[in-house]
Amino acid sequence: MKNSKIVEIVNLYDEFSATNRSEDLREFALWLLRSQGRRDDLTLINSKPAPVKEGRNKEESGKPRSAEESEDTDRNIAYLFNRIAKYSRFYTKKELAEFGLNSIDEFYFLLSIGRSGSPTKSEVYFDTITELTTGAQIMKRLIKQGYVEETTDKNDKRAKRVRLTKKGEKIKGNVFNKLSESIKLKTGNLPQHDKDELLRMLSYIAAFHSHIYKTESDKSVGELVNKYLD
């Protein structure tokens, strides 16, 4: 590894420690992946994943599909995304109960606040892709639990910011470590090369939607389809 890369990593770790008040290496790794992911959104959105060279069935791999077959594939993928997300919540709920958290969304709020340092509530809602009403309910509960506290914005006395309490920092770290037990289960018994391929594809799809959410959330689905898929 070149010295410049070592210096870059050290500087990033300093930034992480200053903004998150944590020295945990696993949390740093997660922070680094997520922050790097935000920088790579535009790169990924403009570079589609390389096609698989050969399908499992050679006869089918080169056979053109009809519009109806393609739509069925899209529907099945969307259905499985939703179903897998529910399975993930099923496992996670079992692990969160002992920490007084009702859902994984509450943990994501703690991660978002910890990563940002002292964001506004709206910034947390936007970062975690949470609607205003739902976000307000989650935030209220976290404050009541003593995991989050409100502070007054230094530049605008009317505005409120939030930050993790010491209790919230501890819970965040404990939950992070606990969830590692179910992470392996959630990816099933896929061999490593299949996991790598799945991660590559999901990273592209996540970046595709992240770009739209951040820059074009005011557009209709029809407008987005015409722009990105036609």
Predicted local confidence at residue 43, as pLDDT: 53
Predicted local confidence at residue 160, as pLDDT: 83
Spans of the chain, pLDDT less than 70: 1-3, 19-22, 24, 26-27, 29-65, 67, 230
Question: pTM for the whole thing?
Answer: 0.66
Tens of pLDDT, residue by residue over 105-123, are 999 999 999 998 899 999 9
Going from N- to C-terminal start, the domains of the chain cover 1-48+190-220, 69-186
Predicted local confidence at residue 3, as pLDDT: 66
The domain defined by 69-186 folds into Arc Repressor Mutant, subunit A (1.10.10)
Predicted local confidence at residue 100, as pLDDT: 85
User: Terminal CA-to-CA distance of the chain, rounded, Å?
Assistant: 43
Cβ neighbours of residue 181 closer than 8 Å, sequence gap 6 or more: 95
Predicted local confidence at residue 53, as pLDDT: 47
Predicted local confidence at residue 54, as pLDDT: 45
Tell me the sheet residues that pair with 148.
Answer: 164
